[in-house]
Copies of this chain bind each other. A is one copy, B any other.
Amino acid sequence: MNEADFIAALRSLATAPAARGLLDDAAVLGDLVFTHDMIVEGVHFLPGDPPEDVAWKLAAVNLSDLAAKGAEPVGCLLGYTLGSPDWNAAFITGLRDVLDTYAMPLLGGDTVKANGPRSFGLTAIGRASNPPSRSGAKPSDSLYVTGVIGRAGIGLNLSRWGGQGAEIQAYRRPQPRIAEGRALAPLVHAMMDVSDGLLIDASRMAEASGLAVTIDLDAVPTEGDPIAAVTAGDDYELLFAAPEAPPSVPATRIGHFDAGSGLTLLRSGVPIPLPASLGWEHGA
């Protein structure tokens, strides 16, 4: 049973409507929204990354899922693998920073010891009155994205190879779009965060909605090589389907939905071959 089979098997256990078939960014139970993401040393963060930033990122990736549901943070539970005394202290500093910034109090959790690479998990709980799903896009909708795509991917490369640049902060300290998500939620037909790459995430929204999506590469606000930008992850911007531009949140129209299926990528108005990888493929 490989990862794809494993996730399919998990779906068969996720029978409650609240689970949204494990196809959404978060589970929805009444007016509460739940998400749980893990990060692993050597996989999701580098052993030399500052512990303050690891704490920030752990909370931020979960906050971004709340943002995608238009949710206000309510609290979180932390699963923490102990490190050296200095590492622990620095982690607390970063955790305090991110929880204060997003007004998300710690509600509980667990601390454990482990030998080898360490793992951290965080469950974020939010409140939302009518959270949009990924699957609500309609055939005449436009596709919008907030912010600039590709900065975190550049930051990952810089931090991996010992470079310098403001993009490192974009990678290590993503700023989940909580306020924007809350403003957008009542106005959109579908919403998700861009965590695995713009192309793969847009494809998922189209697939969940039973539609085709066309993206105009020239319209996407990118930094660096455009193809690298739209296939890199970790930007934590919001991607949404709506009939028209939302009045209050800066966002860029980058494409549209149609009846059908699949992703079409345009450059200078002409379809171009899709890159071999649309982004990060991974778990639920």
Determine if A225 is an interface residue (Cβ-Cβ < 8 Å). Answer: no
Would you call A99 and B13 a contact (CB within 8 A)?
yes
Would you call B114 and A13 a contact (CB within 8 A)?
no
| Secondary structure type dominating chain A contacts | mixed
Using A6-B92, A85-B2 as known contacts, say yes or no to A112 and B13 having CB atoms under 8 A apart: no
Would you call B111 and A119 a contact (CB within 8 A)?
no
Using A114-B43, A282-B111 as known contacts, say yes or no to A82 and B6 having CB atoms under 8 A apart: yes
Determine if A221 is an interface residue (Cβ-Cβ < 8 Å). Answer: no
Would you call A115 and B36 a contact (CB within 8 A)?
no
Which residues, 89 to 105 on A, are CB-close (under 8 Å) to B?
Answer: 89, 92, 95-96, 99, 105
Would you call A119 and B108 a contact (CB within 8 A)?
no
Determine if A246 is an interface residue (Cβ-Cβ < 8 Å). Answer: no
Chain A contributes a number of interface residues (CB within 8 A of B) equal to 67
Using A10-B92, A38-B121 as known contacts, say yes or no to A284 and B109 having CB atoms under 8 A apart: yes
Contact with B along A54-80 (1 / 0, CB 8 A): 000000000000000000001101111
Binds B, one of A25-33, A129-137, A180-188, A209-217: A25-33
Identify the closest chain B residue to A15 (Cβ).
B105
Choose one: B19, B89, B110, B123; the contact of A106 (CB below 8 Å).
B19
Would you call A108 and B284 a contact (CB within 8 A)?
yes
Would you call B113 and A116 a contact (CB within 8 A)?
no
Using A19-B106, A105-B13 as known contacts, say yes or no to A113 and B43 having CB atoms under 8 A apart: yes
Minimum Cβ distance to chain B for residue A36 (Å): 4
Minimum Cβ distance to chain B for residue A50 (Å): 15
Residues of B within 8 A of A92 (CB): 1, 6, 9-10, 13
Residues of B within 8 A of A105 (CB): 13-16, 18-19
Question: Which of A2, A38, A78, A114 has the largest count of B CB atoms less than 10 A from its CB?
Answer: A38
Determine if A207 is an interface residue (Cβ-Cβ < 8 Å). Answer: no
Residues of B within 8 A of A111 (CB): 3, 6-7, 10, 282-284
How far, in angstroms, from A34 to B36 measured CA to CA in the complex? 13
Choose one: B38, B40, B95, B117; the contact of A13 (CB below 8 Å).
B95
Top 5 nearest A-B pairs (CB, nearest first) are A111-B283, A116-B116, A27-B107, A36-B77, A1-B89
Other A-B pairs, 16, CB within 8 Å; known A40-B81, A115-B117: A13-B99, A15-B105, A16-B107, A18-B75, A34-B77, A36-B79, A36-B109, A37-B110, A38-B121, A39-B112, A42-B115, A43-B113, A79-B119, A112-B283, A116-B117, A119-B119
What are 5 contact pairs spanning A and B, CB under 8 A? A13-B92, A16-B75, A18-B105, A38-B112, A111-B283
